[in-house]
Amino acid sequence: MSTAAKPRRPIAAPVPLGLRLRRLLSAHEIATLLLLLQAPAELMAATPDVMALREVGLVQGAESEQDGATPMFALTADGRAMLRALGAG
């Protein structure tokens, strides 16, 4: 019998109570959150994944930081909290 200690897996941050989803996120939706973490996306780039994330409150409409006129999508505080809970934020 070996008494070597097993490596411990990192523990993800708990999901805030207000952030409980009624369904699991798809791989595409998680990838979209990761992309939006790096930079907001133009509103014209709205995909079904972005729209689904908007419906659950993880993404919101925002103005461009450069010109203020271009509508963009960006993460909400809940979206950033979700990525932190997944260990990516």
Does the model's pTM come out above 0.95? no
pLDDT of 55-67, one tens digit each? 999 999 877 666 6
Q: Which residues are CB-neighbours of 70 under 8 A, at least 6 positions away? A: 42, 43, 63, 64
pLDDT: which is higher, 44 or 60 = 60
User: Could you tell me what percent of the chain has a pLDDT over 90?
Assistant: 24
Indicate the CATH number of 25-85 among 3.30.450.20, 2.60.60.20, 1.10.10.10, 3.30.530.20.
Answer: 1.10.10.10
Any idea where the domains of the chain sit in the sequence?
Answer: 25-85
pLDDT of 79-89, one tens digit each? 999 999 888 86
On whether the CB atoms of residues 62 and 74 are closer than 8 A, the answer is yes
